[in-house]
Each structure stands twice: as C-alpha cells, then as structure tokens.
Amino acid sequence: MSQMRLNQLTGRWVTIVAERAQRPTDFAPRARFDEFDSGRPCPFCPGNEESTPPALETVHEGGGWSVRVVPNLYPAFQGEDGFAVHHEGPVHVSAEGTGIHEVFVYSPDHDMSLDRLDDHAAGEFMRALKRRFVDHATTANIRYTQAIVNHGREAGASLSHPHGQLLGLPFVPGEVLDEERAFARFAGGCLLCTTAEAELATDERVVYASDDVVVVCPYWSGSPFELLIIPRRHAQHLQDSDDDSLVAVGRALRDATAFLNAALGDVAFNVGFHSAPHDHTGEYHWHVHIWPNLVTQAGFERGTGVLINIVPPEQAAETLRSVVARA
C-alpha cells in the first residue's frame, strides 16, 4: 500500500509508492552534449572571455582564473526598478521582470563537473556564492537570491561547460514563502535543526554526516533519490555562515553528486540553494536541494500538485550508502 508523507518544508503531501520501485539501473543516464554543441568556441573557456559581458567577479589563481561571475547575456530578470504590480482589467496582473541574472562559472576546465571538484575548488565555489549573496543583499530592489546548478540537457543546461546561475529577484517566490511559513509554525525550535537530529537518530535516510553537515534523502522526498544538505550550524542566510560551514557544504555537494553518479550513472540533476529572503528576521535555516531528473511528472502530479515517488527515500539512502562504503 502506498503511504502519504507531509513535506514539512512546503506543507504539501507526497506519495511514496514502494510497489512501483525501480532499480538504479532502470534510470537512463543523461543525454550527452556531443550532438548539441555547435562547434562554436565555448564562451566560458579561458581565452574566450570577450564572448561574455565584463566579469562582475574573478577569482585569480595560478596565473589564470578559477571562478568567474558574469552577467547573463540573455537575462530573465534585469533592471533596478522595484516590484511594481499593474492591474490590467479585472483578472490580469503583471509586473516588470526587474532584478539580477548572473552566470557563475565555477571551473575553467570545460570537462570538469560538480562531482569531481577537489576540496579547494569546492570551498571556493561556496565562498564565491557567499560574496554574490552579500552583494545582492545590499542591492536596493533585490529581496531574494536563488542560486542554481543545472547539470545535463534534461535539467535545463544549455552549455556543457560547468556553471551555475544566480538570480536576484524583487519578490520572494512562492516555494520560499511556503518554507518561511513552515519554519514559523513549527513548534519544536528550528525545523531543519530538528530534522537533522531526528534523521541522525534513526539513521535510515542519512547518506553522509560530519560535525558540520548532514546529507539525507528526506522523509518527504517527492522524487527518486532526492537529497537535502543541511548545515549543522544554524544560520538563516547562506552569507551568515562561517567558512567551515561553507566549505563543508561545498564538499558535501561535491560528494553527494558523486554518489548519485556512482549509483545511477551520469544522470541529469538540478541543485537549488535555499536561503532566507534578505530582509527576513524570523526563523529559517538555509539548505541545499538536489533533484535528480529521473522521472517525468504526469497528469496526476500536474493536476493535483501531489508528487508520486516510486523509490522510497529509505531505499535510495541505502543504495547511496552502499556506494559510499565501496568508495
């Protein structure tokens, strides 16, 4: 029989259907970019810096650069105006798409990937993110910053060179508003501090843990092999974290994606960094989501918003732990 589980972070239900569980080998690896790349020079490779707008930030290292942050050439959000809502008749409401859209190139190596960063590069990845979050937080019209990494064409990546994106928004998106409400209504202290301790106590869904970070397949996983990275030092905003926490999260992100690749093959995935809105003063605990792109949402999921997960998180965690044990 299937089981309904409440996602405490969003307030929405998910359905775990163990009877339909698939083996890791049943999931297809991501499509390669070979036939997708046009043969044009990669705009993110060293030597092609003139192909991008001038860098907002460059980390220089060893006679070259290790990280570059540049404005997105095709921004989804752009402009310094505030969030002005326009009512166009009785039902139509619009607003200008102002804000910030940046590309975060976290390696000069075209063939590098998140799961193969060394310890130093994983730390620099997070330090650079922190600096961008600080910059966004001091920008007048920016209320929230979303950092993402899309790995693979199925996950939305348009270029194979390793990169992420930072979007500074003049509003707080609904997913984060739901999380704010969840933290506010949770009566047991911090929702994610409590989650981390509860998961460590049962050890059923823990994939990796250290003094600084916990990686779990969350109890309320809405998709197969979904992962949640929780820094163990409580902080509302990513930019509030000390260097030890940031480096630990960077290495955990590297290791978690490596475990996925070892267990499932080179699958497409999305990474989302959730930090409190910049002016938020209530309860919150920043964290990182990893969503492998292994299944397609069908009519029921789209029609109801209730996700169906065919791989119980306990099974997913066991599979990933077996990879860790063999490493």
- Class (C level, CATH) for 3-79+93-326: alpha beta
pLDDT tens digits, 270-295? 999 999 999 998 999 999 999 999 98
Nearest-CA neighbor of 209 among 252, 246, 253?
Answer: 252
Span 103-139, pLDDT tens digits:
999 999 999 999 999 999 999 999 999 999 999 999 9
* pLDDT tens readout for residues 138-197: 999 999 999 999 999 899 898 999 999 999 999 999 999 999 999 999 998 999 999 999
- Its sign, for the CA torsion 49, 54, 58, 64, is positive
Residues contacting residue 86 through CB under 8 Å, at least 6 positions apart: 93, 94, 95
Angle in degrees, CA 26, 35, 28, rounded to 5: 5
DSSP 79-126: BS----EEEETTTEEEE---BEEEEEE--S-TT--GGG--HHHHHHHH
pLDDT at 1: 72
Strands 12-16 and 307-309: parallel
> What pLDDT does residue 37 have?
53
Name the average pLDDT for the chain. 92
